[in-house]
């Protein structure tokens, strides 16, 4: 699993080297193309917790490095080339994340991300409540609200808001989980009319806690785009 994470980090660093800085004003194809780009970026840059539903607890922390790889579904090489970007059919987004447990089975978390050369800078956060905290016999169930905001791309403003529900059940060191939700994306540019839309979200993953090391992986399908996230860190 560590080898997979190292490979994902390497790909996340290598991908931007193959791309140019995004210039949304050069996008060809008119409003339909702007909508397609917005949908793909909304899927790729929306919040992905990569964590079980169970609360961390009042003394709990989750700190990790994550890479998310998204297979872009609505756009093609010609559209990205028109914006000065090549080889971006798969977008890799590295992140530094931290989560903290609060009273009443509530967790709060946030992340920051920079994708060099593309110009993409991203930050986001979540508030999650495990209204069924779970036990040895019962699964945990949580509801989460999240948001992300893009910056750094000239003439493009994009943000996402998400709402989902998830379930998880621990088995010794391994905790599989799954969930369903919806993501709302708003994007605007001086070159195009603003776009606002929602996309359905499905996700599933597993968390492996080895004491000093925590490993997690998640599959996510938001709209038409599919993502795989891998996270390495500490969860206690």
Q: What pLDDT shows up at residue 173?
A: 94
What are the Cα distances from residue 68, in Å, to 72, 233, 236?
A: 12, 15, 23
The pLDDT value given to residue 34? 96
* Sequence-distant (≥ 6) Cβ neighbours of residue 5 within 8 angstroms: 65, 67, 215, 230, 231, 232
CATH architecture assigned to 2-235:
Beta Barrel (2.40)
Low-confidence ranges of the chain (pLDDT < 50): 1-5, 7-8, 10-18
Place of tokens 């890479």: 67
Closest Cα partner for 218 from 233, 203, 232? 203
Q: What is the pLDDT of residue 84?
A: 84
pLDDT value of position 30: 92
pLDDT score recorded for residue 2: 47
Residues 53-74 have pLDDT tens digits of 999 999 999 999 999 999 999 9
User: What would the pLDDT profile of 11-38 be if each residue is shown by its tens digit?
Assistant: 444 444 445 678 898 899 899 999 999 9
Domain ranges, ordered by start, for the chain:
2-235
Half-sphere exposure for 21 (CA within 13 Å, toward CB)? 9
Instruction: Give which of 179, 234, 177, 180 is closest to 206, Cα–Cα.
Output: 177
């Amino acid at each position: 699993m560590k080898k997979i994470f190292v490979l994902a980090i390497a790909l996340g660093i290598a991908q931007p080297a193959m791309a140019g800085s995004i210039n949304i004003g050069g996008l060809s194809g008119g409003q339909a193309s702007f909508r397609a780009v917005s949908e793909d970026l909304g899927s790729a840059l929306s919040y992905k917790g990569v964590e079980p539903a169970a609360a961390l607890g009042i003394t709990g922390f989750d700190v990790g490095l994550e890479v998310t790889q998204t297979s872009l579904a609505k756009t093609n090489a010609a559209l990205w080339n028109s914006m000065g970007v090549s080889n971006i059919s798969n977008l890799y987004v590295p992140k530094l994340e931290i989560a903290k447990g609060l009273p009443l089975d509530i967790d709060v978390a946030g992340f920051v991300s920079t994708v060099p050369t593309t110009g993409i800078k991203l930050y986001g956060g979540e508030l999650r409540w495990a209204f069924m905290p779970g036990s040895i016999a019962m699964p945990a169930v949580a509801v989460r609200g999240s948001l992300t905001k893009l910056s750094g791309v000239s003439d493009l403003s994009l943000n996402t808001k998400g709402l989902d529900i998830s379930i998880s059940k621990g088995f010794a060191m391994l905790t599989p989980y799954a969930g369903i939700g919806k993501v709302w994306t708003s994007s605007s540019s001086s070159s195009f009319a603003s776009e606002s839309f929602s996309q359905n979200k499905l996700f599933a993953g597993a968390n492996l806690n080895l004491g000093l090391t925590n490993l997690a992986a998640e599959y996510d399908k938001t709209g038409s785009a599919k993502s795989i996230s891998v996270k390495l860190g500490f969860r206690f």
